[in-house]
Homo-oligomer: A and B are copies of this chain.
Amino acid sequence: MAREIRNILFIMFDQLRFDYLSCAGHKHLHTPHIDGLAARGVRFSRAYVQSTICGASRMSFYTGRYVSSHGAAWNNFPLKVGEMTLGDHLRKNGMQCWLVGKTHMKADDEGMDRLGISHDSVIGARVSECGFDVHTRDDGLWAEGVDGFYDTRRSPYNEYLRGKGYPSDNPWADNANAGVDAEGNIASGWLMKNARHAANIAEEDSETPWLTSRAIDFLESADAKKPWLCHLSYIKPHWPYIVPAPYNDMYHEEHIQPATRHPDELIDPHPVYEQFMLGAVGRSFQRDEVREAVIPAYMGLVKQCDDQMGRLLAYLETSGRMDDTMIVLTSDHGDYLGDHWLGEKELFHDASVRIPMIVYDPREEADATRGSVSDALAESIDLAPTFMEAIGAPIPSHILEGRSLTPFLHGRSREDWRRFAVSEYDYSPTPAADALGLKPRDARLFMIVTDRWKFVHAEGGFRPMLFDLEADPEELNDLGGSADHAETIDAMYDHLFAWARRQSQRTTVSDERIISMRSGGSIRKGILSGVFDQDEVEPELLVKYRGKAPRGVAQRPGSAREAKADTP
């Protein structure tokens, strides 16, 4: 049977570092299933997210556009109504677009009200869900505090757990993300000191297996009979850092790779970097006890993810889907885990901004590249046009800002590939912006990465940051203040400037349409701009215009006599 692309399985993990996979060189974490997918596809070793925060990054994946183009710059900043998504582009070409898992999408309720779009309508539901039809939506953050729940929607996962007999009103919090301490009390995964406990849940009921099962449900459903894209979007290995047995006990202190950090980084750091190091999360991850508690749990979470990939891939194999389905595996950003004296993500060191990206293309054309690693600069927004090309649809390049990765999958050279990738971070709602006394518009960072350099521009009057990835692959030596690098810094600013001037909002007219206008069609609709005399125009264009002449002068009321009087 011919191998073809009928479907797309777009798998995303949350906060999975690019280098926590054995195929990417992790020394102690063995991820044979993900490695196996890489062996059948192409692994993009230099793939970057468009923003280092969940919501903004995801909106870029789903719209195929840079963050400053779609505008949803931070978690829970609504994606403005009208912004087109993968679902819009795919459905137009006869493909369904389904969600199983997380999106971090916040609907633009105000915009929907303004345009009279009901959340209950099919269109409204899609607009609210970032263009997806929802098989399962669960963002996996069922936190509750003194002001109530972080996420006030229904939680399919909690419903599942309660259905399985977990008695808590929030088993996500009390079971999936909590252990039991020596006294028999809940040991919440929210406290990192509890990370090594086994989550108080049957392994098969924990979040990653549960979502894998939901994906298999989808694949077996009637909806999967028509071509589909399924976005299987896992919640893990994102914090809370806690994992059920046996994964909680697989990795120990000796498996923790040394932190990528150096005391020199603390000396005269860039002011924005400094604020993040001074932040609560940064200070936490500077402590050895935090890394020692968290990293083995994080590794266990990744290991569980890999095992679930094994389960899923086996299902895909058995069901024949490996022959007709493009599979992408990626993450929305990484996790510092103490590297560079930081925790979480947000800034632009590789631990945060670089992501795993594996693309499996079942077609014969991709056979030659299977198992290869591409170091081409890939961006998360490249997936949307890759999907369009995969299904043989035109790529709306006036809307999508990424570029199809197909040439790399099919072993065609791309001499004209991008020379730099871009990422953005709007930290305007953070305490760091407050500490720096910045207006919201000035609390923004832009990263430019090239083959050799990584450069960060900070609005607000700060110097830039610069790393020489060749001499300093661990990004420990910030050259942003180095006079010796003025020329490189200028070149990076040139890249940023060219990118900032890009045309990102002219989304209602295609390039093809524009080029077709150049022949000047308006004269064919009677617009004779700049014409002095009819001799200047091709006679056939004047047919309509002159057509009135034989009927004589167009009279105005009461003018017939005057006209006659003038004509002897």
Contacts and interface: CB of A to CB of B under 8 A. Distances in A.
Report the contact-size class of chain A (Cβ under 8 Å from the partner): 35 or more
A208 interface: no
Given A180-B553, A193-B533, A200-B556, A81 B82 contact: yes
Contacts of A519: 431, 434
Given A185-B553, A200-B553, A429-B518, A523 B145 contact: yes
A146 B557 contact: no
Residue in A519, A552, A553 with the greatest tally of chain B CB atoms within 10 Å: A553
Given A150-B525, A434-B518, A557-B166, A506 B145 contact: no
Stoichiometry, as copies per complex, reads 2
B545 A190 contact: yes
A27 to B, nearest CB: 26
Interface in A483-532: 493, 496-497, 500-509, 511, 514-515, 517-532
Interface string A250-294: 000000000000000000000000000001111111010110010
A482 interface: no
A321 B348 CA distance: 58
Interface in A60-86: 68-74, 77-84
Residue in A202, A446, A493, A545 with the greatest tally of chain B CB atoms within 10 Å: A545
A175 B554 contact: yes
A415 interface: no
A556 B493 CA distance: 56
A94 interface: no
A299 interface: no
Nearest to A205: B556
A441 interface: yes
A201 B556 contact: yes
Interface string A90-116: 000000000000000000101100111
A548 interface: yes
A549 interface: yes
A143 B527 contact: yes
Interface string A30-72: 0000000000000000000000000000000000000011111
A95 B292 CA distance: 61
Given A121-B116, A440-B515, A68 B505 contact: yes
A553 B497 CA distance: 56
A531 B191 contact: yes
A230 interface: no
A540 B184 contact: no
B200 A528 contact: no
Nearest to A443: B514
A400 to B, nearest CB: 13
Contacts of A496: 497, 501
A402 to B, nearest CB: 15
A553 B183 CA distance: 10
B563 A115 contact: no
A76 to B, nearest CB: 9
A254 B480 CA distance: 64
A246 to B, nearest CB: 15
B148 A525 contact: yes
A138 to B, nearest CB: 16
A493 to B, nearest CB: 8
Nearest to A78: B508
Contacts of A173: 526, 548
A141 interface: yes
A279 to B, nearest CB: 8
A188 B553 CA distance: 10
Nearest to A429: B517
Interface of A: 68-74, 77-84, 88, 108, 110-111, 114-117, 121, 123-124, 127, 141, 143-150, 164-168, 171, 173-175, 178, 180, 184-186, 188, 190-193, 200-202, 205, 239, 279-285, 287, 289-290, 293, 343-344, 426, 428-431, 433-434, 439-441, 444, 446, 459, 493, 496-497, 500-509, 511, 514-515, 517-534, 536, 540-541, 543-545, 548-549, 552-557, 559, 563, 566-567
16 contacts: A68-B504, A69-B505, A78-B508, A78-B509, A81-B115, A82-B82, A115-B127, A116-B117, A145-B523, A150-B522, A164-B557, A166-B554, A185-B549, A285-B530, A287-B532, A431-B520
**Top 8 A-B residue pairs of the complex, sorted by shortest distance between their CB atoms:** A82-B82, A281-B530, A143-B526, A174-B554, A71-B505, A145-B526, A429-B517, A500-B500
